[in-house]
């Protein structure tokens, strides 16, 4: 039995100045789906809405991929998202999607196994998803036929693998925004940590 | 009707994987809408489509995606890209200025996103990119890398 890990909650701060809602253009307000009197629009949204067109189209695609009905179970999509986020060094995304994985599975076992690199403790399905997510996220992508064979062996249908590919790919996208346009730090306590990589979790 | 991902993956109507993709119509149409928003946006924020194509070609090549690189090469050709853009597309490091800053950022975020830091955003601002331009560039970089992961994954299911 591995020691339990605790995922520390992080808060994200942009490197660029987010949109001031009072000065936003109609296109920016439309993209954020807010009125000038709204106050609860996250800094992430107000940063990306500087380019309203890409913000809207990406958000629609992201939601389609991560919340699509049927097909690959949500927890498997979250595991794929986590694998991408670890490869791409996005601490914030890894924190959020590690937490979602734990919530959806009602267990910290997979997270503990990943944190301690005890891949032998993962289920065959989780291990196949994890290794595929990491390989596909490499640059250039390094996933091969043996990764797909392992996914099929673990019971994933090709339709489910299509869902998984998209979850991993859309996180390669999200990670390249969140990690490059800002940094995350713990909500309280420790001084700002601008490290990338796996510093999101603590024992 | 085929789309950019079908073309780069080598899928045609009638293929099992072509039909499988259409079981998720929102993924297919969503990616196409993103492609337009990133490569031929209504408001390009001062980053014109040929520049966007050149950067996209550069990043497809960094991802070793031959078919996608060829698609962008053909689009660049059609757009009649000038010398500095063809050099940029080919992976050369431009002379100091906005093109150089954008090229270096594309290269870093494509190859090693983990290593990106505040200094990289500062370098773009120092090369006189506006905040909307920095965001549009970041989305373009992320989009091309998305395309490359989808095509790489789908090719593994093709056979």
Domain ranges in chain B?
4-158
- Residue A178 structure tokens: 């969140």
Mean pLDDT of B121-139: 98
Residue A69 has a CB neighbour count (10 Å cut-off) of 4
Give CA–CA dist B150/B144, Å, rounded: 10
Q: Which domains does chain A have, with CATH numbers?
A: 1-33+41-203 (1.20.1290.10)
Residue A38 pLDDT level (bands cut at 50, 70, 90): low
pLDDT band at A203 (very low <50, low <70, confident <90, very high): very low
Consecutive H or E run containing A170 = helix A158-181
A-B contacts at Cβ under 8 angstroms: 173
Give me B111's structure tokens. 């190859």
Residue in the block written with tokens 């989305």:
B139
Q: What is the DSSP letter of A10?
A: E
Other CB atoms within 10 Å distance of the CB of residue A125 = 17
User: What pLDDT digit, counting tens, does each position of B77-113 carry?
Assistant: 999 878 899 999 999 998 889 999 999 999 999 999 9
Task: Note whether B19 contacts A: Cβ–Cβ < 8 A.
Answer: no
pLDDT digits (tens, 9 = 90+) for A161-200: 999 999 999 999 999 999 999 999 988 755 444 443 333 3
d(CA A9, CA B147): 31
* Structure confidence at residue A195 (pLDDT): 40
Tokens standing for residue A8: 């520390």
- Average pLDDT score over residue span B43-64: 97
The answer to whether residue B61 neighbours chain A at the CB level (below 8 Å) is no
Which range, of A108-117, A118-127, B67-76, averages the lowest pLDDT?
A: A108-117
Q: Is the pLDDT of residue A39 over 80?
A: no
pLDDT for B81: 78
Per-residue pLDDT, A192: 47
Mean pLDDT of B123-144: 98
Q: How high is the pLDDT of residue A6?
A: 79
Closest by CA to A193, choosing from A10, A4, A1, is: A10
For chain A, the C-alpha Rg in angstroms (whole number) is: 18
**What does the alpha-carbon distance between residue B16 and residue A61 come to, in Å, rounded to a whole number?**
23
Q: Name the phi and psi angles at A122, rounded to 5.
A: -75, 155
Specify whether the backbone of B114 is left (phi greater than 0), alpha (psi in -120 to 50) or beta: alpha
- Using one digit for the tens of pLDDT, what is the confidence trace for A61-120? 999 999 999 999 999 999 999 999 999 999 999 999 999 999 999 999 999 999 989 999
d(CA B48, nearest CA chain A) in Å: 14
- CB–CB of A89 and B115 under 8 A? yes
Contact flag A61-B156 (C-beta cutoff 8 Å): no
**Whether A131 contacts chain B with CB within 8 A:** no
**What average pLDDT is seen over chain A?**
90
Which of the listed CATH numbers 1.10.10.10, 3.40.190.10, 1.10.3720.10, 1.20.1290.10 matches domain B4-158?
1.20.1290.10
- Selecting from B23, B110, B117 the residue whose C-beta is nearest the C-beta of A139 gives B110
Is A165–B149 a contact, with Cβ atoms under 8 angstroms apart? yes
CA distance A22 to chain B (A): 17
B126 and chain A: CB distance < 8 Å anywhere?
Answer: no
Residues 6+ apart with CB under 8 A from A44: A12, A14, A178, A182
pLDDT digits (tens, 9 = 90+) for B3-26: 999 999 999 999 999 999 999 999
């Amino acid at each position: 039995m591995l020691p339990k890990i605790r995922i520390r909650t992080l808060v994200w701060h942009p490197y660029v100045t987010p949109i001031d809602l009072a000065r936003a253009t109609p296109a920016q307000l439309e993209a954020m789906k807010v009125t000038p009197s709204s106050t609860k629009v996250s800094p992430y949204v107000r940063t990306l809405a500087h380019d309203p067109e890409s913000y809207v189209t990406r958000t629609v695609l992201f939601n389609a991929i991560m919340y699509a009905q049927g097909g690959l179970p949500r927890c498997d999509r979250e595991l794929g998202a986590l694998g991408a986020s670890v490869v791409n060094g996005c601490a914030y995304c890894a924190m959020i999607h590690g937490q979602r994985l734990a919530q959806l599975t009602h267990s910290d076992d997979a997270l503990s196994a990943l944190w301690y690199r005890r891949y032998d403790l993962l289920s065959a399905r989780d291990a196949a998803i994890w290794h595929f997510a990491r390989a596909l996220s490499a640059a250039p992508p390094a996933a091969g036929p043996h990764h797909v064979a392992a996914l099929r062996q673990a019971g994933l249908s090709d339709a489910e693998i299509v869902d998984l590919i998209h979850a991993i790919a859309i996180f390669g996208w999200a990670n390249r925004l969140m990690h490059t346009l800002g940094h995350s730090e713990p909500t309280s306590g420790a001084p700002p940590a601008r490290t990338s990589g796996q510093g999101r979790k603590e024992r | 009707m085929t789309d950019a991902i079908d073309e780069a993956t080598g899928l045609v109507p009638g293929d099992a994987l072509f039909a499988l993709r259409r079981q998720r119509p929102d993924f297919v149409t969503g990616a196409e809408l993103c492609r337009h928003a990133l490569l031929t946006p209504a408001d390009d924020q001062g980053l014109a489509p040929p520049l966007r194509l050149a950067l996209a070609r550069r990043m497809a090549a960094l991802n070793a995606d031959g078919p996608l690189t060829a698609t962008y090469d053909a689009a660049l050709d059609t757009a009649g890209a000038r010398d500095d853009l063809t050099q940029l597309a080919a992976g050369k490091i431009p002379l100091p200025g906005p093109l150089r800053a954008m090229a270096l950022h594309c290269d870093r975020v494509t190859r090693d996103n983990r290593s990106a830091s505040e200094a990289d955003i500062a370098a773009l601002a120092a090369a006189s990119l506006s905040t909307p331009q920095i965001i549009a560039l970041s989305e373009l970089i992320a989009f091309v890398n998305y395309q490359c992961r989808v095509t790489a994954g789908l090719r593994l299911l093709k056979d």
